[in-house]
Chains A and B, each alone.
Chain A
């Protein structure tokens, strides 16, 4: 076991999978010679050569299409979008081609689309977005977002070995901030399984990605006052682990869904709707949601802090729910 960062964990998973399976290769902007905008693939081109670590032109649609073609021919490409915001340029290739190919032809498209997502570090409207809900509405895609180095490694390995296209969103605010011990030996975290990060009996907070850490902070603070909050980390956004969500809410009777993406039509709506459909008799209070305000992510630090979910907002809503 070594203590590694979230970013290292992603890097290790990629390197180990490339050593294990010669059909795994990487494509993306500046991932080779430069080692990636965030240095996730530093040293890769030296080890695996430029045929397996491909620097592409700045054309998300182009390299996504190329990766889908390679996947159909038996490869397992891992595509890096330099920022998840630019995945919108490849939207048609992902949604209309990769997601539907197996349904249309019975041909699997095992591509992993990695996208550094999320805000909180003054990236402005084009380097801070959380695009997950655009993809969780699309049948044929799996969508994951790890919150810890251990999960970052295990979920990426599972994604690469999956026969379906997987959107792997890595929160860039976690890259170097979160470190922990991660096993050196090979392991996978199954896609579709949530993780209860903190046990509690009074309120369930359902969240994922960087917000897991924010919500755990709130839970710790309120624990000092005697409130026991359960924090469910979804990890996998499509498919959703309904059983874990429903088991928790059945126990606590109250639910708060927190995500960093904008509120309207975000994943919080789906999670809340599922809870209401399936846990109605257990509910003691309305299911609440917290997301970013419905605006582009501002560049101004003051405004960005006001737009994104904060510990203060989460704590206030948690208190409100605890009082029911």
Chain B
């Protein structure tokens, strides 16, 4: 065990993954010589050489397309998109090629590409370095979508994703890269994709969140407890596939739901989650499901604090739900 922040845990996971399997290669903008803009890939090129850690031109389409080709020929590429905001130039490659290969080839070909991308706000990044595009990918059959909220899950999910036979969109909340550290095993371990984590046990209301909203939710749950509201906090960790069993078990216990995410509200992942819960557990609900989210505007630079869900907004939603 060592104390690691999320960057260190990911870096450690990448080292292990590349050592374990010589077919694992890393490609992206500045991932080699510089070690990545967030230093997640620091030291990898020195250790594994320029054949396995490739600095690419600024062409996200090219990065993903090359990774698909490598995967079809037996490699296990890890493609880094420097900020999730820039996944959009590669959108066609991701949703029309990467996601559809297994289906199109009648199960003859797979594209086990792990696409890493830093997501979310809270770092003063403005509208092109703060977006949370998860619901675009959740609307795309053929992809898996995961998002860790702590160093342990980051490493475990990364190593699990490297063992997948299908493409995984791996979202890294950049706000959490260095804000907290935790004890993380030095060796290899996995956190299964498709399993949520109960962060805090409660009986009055379920707070469902993921990524950078998880530590915030824990703070809010502590504040709520002072008002005698006991909050069950779930960290989804995996958005596609979704651990619906854990979600429904919590609904059966608390009967009240608040969903939190950073992405804009309309057609965000919270909408999918709310409607799934209504479909599967309508008669267990005692109150409407509330969503606390980013607003339907581009991500603001000056108004970032107002845009992102705050402790007060979440607490208000919890109070409203419990009172309903």
Contacts and interface: CB of A to CB of B under 8 A. Distances in A.
Interaction A to B:
yes
Interface of A: 61, 85-86, 88-89, 91-92, 95-96, 99-100, 103-104, 125-126, 133-134, 136-140, 238, 240, 261-262, 264-270, 272-273, 276-278, 280, 283, 285-289, 294-296
Contacts of B297: 103, 139-140
A104 B127 contact: yes
A262 B139 contact: yes
Interface residues of B, number: 48
A139 B91 CA distance: 18
A100 B127 CA distance: 9
A269 B103 contact: no
Nearest to B96: A88
Interface stretch (B115-123, B152-160, B202-210, B262-270): B262-270
Interface stretch (B9-17, B217-225, B247-255, B288-296): B288-296
Most buried by A among B85, B86, B142, B296: B296
Contacts of B266: 136-137, 139, 238, 240, 270
Contact of A286 (B136, B268, B278, B296): B278
B298 A273 contact: no
Interface in B285-307: 287-291, 295-298
Interface string B66-106: 00000000000000000001101101100110011001100
Contacts of B103: 125, 295-296
Contacts of B268: 137
B291 A273 contact: yes
Contact of B96 (A92, A96, A126): A126
Closest 8 CB pairs of A and B: A286-B282, A272-B275, A91-B91, A265-B139, A92-B88, A269-B271, A137-B267, A280-B288
Most buried by A among B91, B240, B276: B91
B76 to A, nearest CB: 23
Interface string B130-163: 0000011011011000000000000000000000
A294 B141 contact: yes
B272 A277 contact: no
Contact of A269 (B91, B263, B272, B287): B272
Given A91-B88, A100-B127, A289 B298 contact: no
B240 A264 contact: yes
Contacts of B127: 100, 103-104
Contacts, number: 136
Given A136-B267, A270-B271, A276-B274, 17 more contacts: A89-B91, A89-B92, A103-B297, A104-B127, A125-B103, A137-B267, A139-B296, A238-B266, A264-B138, A265-B269, A266-B139, A269-B272, A276-B278, A276-B289, A277-B288, A280-B287, A280-B288
A264 B139 contact: yes
Given A96-B88, A137-B268, A286-B279, A269 B141 contact: no
Nearest to B88: A92
A283 to B, nearest CB: 8
A272 B92 contact: no
Interface string B305-324: 00000000000000000001
A295 B141 contact: yes
Interface string B206-237: 00000000000000000000000000000000
Given A265-B138, A265-B267, A88 B274 contact: no
Contacts of A286: 278-279, 282-283
Contact of A139 (B88, B104, B276, B298): B298
B142 A296 contact: yes
Contacts of A264: 138-139, 141, 240, 272
A134 B266 CA distance: 11
13 contacts: A89-B91, A91-B91, A91-B92, A125-B103, A134-B139, A137-B268, A139-B266, A265-B136, A266-B272, A270-B271, A278-B288, A285-B282, A286-B279
A226 to B, nearest CB: 25
A99 B128 CA distance: 12
Nearest to A90: B92
A96 B85 contact: yes
B287 to A, nearest CB: 7
Which of B267, B276, B287 is the most central at the interface, judged by chain A CB atoms within 10 Å of its CB? B267
Contacts of A238: 266
Nearest to A99: B298
A280 B283 CA distance: 12
